[in-house]
Chain A
C-alpha cells in the first residue's frame, strides 16, 4: 500500500538557517503530494502541494519539488524564522479516500 516516510525530528535550527525536511513515498500510479503544517494546539493547514512529476509547490518561502525518479518531495526554506516552529507533515493522495500522512517532523527555530 501507499506509505510516506519523513525524517525523524526534532530538527533544531538557528534563525535564518536553511531548512530541509526529507520526505519519500511509495505509491502506485501518480499521486498528488502535499506538505501540511501544524502549530501547537491547532489543526493542520495545507502549506503547499504538487500534482505531477517535476511540479514545484511553494508558499510562504517554503518549496518542494515532486521528484518521481527518487520518489521524494523534500521541503526546503532558505531562511527560517522563529514563527516557522511547528510540526510538518508530508502526505500523498493516491485516489479515492486515500490520503496517507507521514508521522510528522517537529521543527524548532531558536533566535
Chain B
C-alpha cells in the first residue's frame, strides 16, 4: 500500500546539534509539507514543496531547513538555531499543490526531544 514513512519515530537531540528527520512517500504526490505540532496549538506549517528542487517557507521556518532532490523524499533538518525544537513533527503530501480537495496524507510523525 502507498503511504508516507517518517523516521525515526523518536529522536533525542543535544543542545547545539543539528538533526535530520526523514520523510519518504510512494504515492507519486507532487507536493510535500512539514508541520510542527505543539499541545494546544494545532499544526503549524514549517516548509512545503510543490515540485522537485523547489520549496517555500511556511509560517515558522526559522531554525529549519529542507531539501527536495527527489520527488519521494523531503527531509527536514532542525538546526541549532531553532531555540525550542521539542515537538511532534508531521510530514504530509498531496497530489498537487493546488489546494487539492482530496486532502492530505500524513505520516505517523517523529517526536523530537531536546536533552
Residue positions of A touching B, CB distance < 8 A: 31-32, 34, 36, 41-46, 49, 51, 89, 93-99, 101-104
Of the candidates A93, A103, A104, the one whose C-beta lies within 8 Å of that of B101 is A93
Judge whether B90 and A93 touch: CB under 8 Å. Answer: no
Docked pose: A12 CA to B49 CA in angstroms: 38
Residues of A within 8 A of B103 (CB): 34, 36, 46, 49, 93
From residue 2 to 46 of chain B, which have CB atoms closer than 8 A to chain A? 4, 6, 31, 40-43
Judge whether A103 and B109 touch: CB under 8 Å. Answer: no
Q: How far is the CB of A106 from chain B (nearest CB, A)?
A: 10
Q: What's the tally of chain B residues with a CB closer than 8 Å to chain A? A: 25
Judge whether B109 and A42 touch: CB under 8 Å. Answer: yes
B1 at the interface (CB under 8 A from A): no
Q: In the complex where A89-B42, A103-B41 touch, is A94 in contact with B106 (Cβ < 8 A)?
A: no
Residue positions of B touching A, CB distance < 8 A: 4, 6, 31, 40-43, 48, 50, 56, 90, 92, 97-109
Q: Name A46's closest neighbour in chain B (CB-CB).
A: B103
Q: How far is the CB of B36 from chain A (nearest CB, A)?
A: 12
Judge whether B107 and A43 touch: CB under 8 Å. Answer: yes
Docked pose: A32 CA to B50 CA in angstroms: 19
Q: Name B96's closest neighbour in chain A (CB-CB).
A: A96
Judge whether A43 and B99 touch: CB under 8 Å. Answer: no
Judge whether A98 and B99 touch: CB under 8 Å. Answer: yes
A-B residue pairs in contact (CB < 8 Å), sample of 9: A31-B99, A43-B90, A44-B92, A46-B105, A51-B101, A93-B100, A96-B99, A97-B99, A104-B42
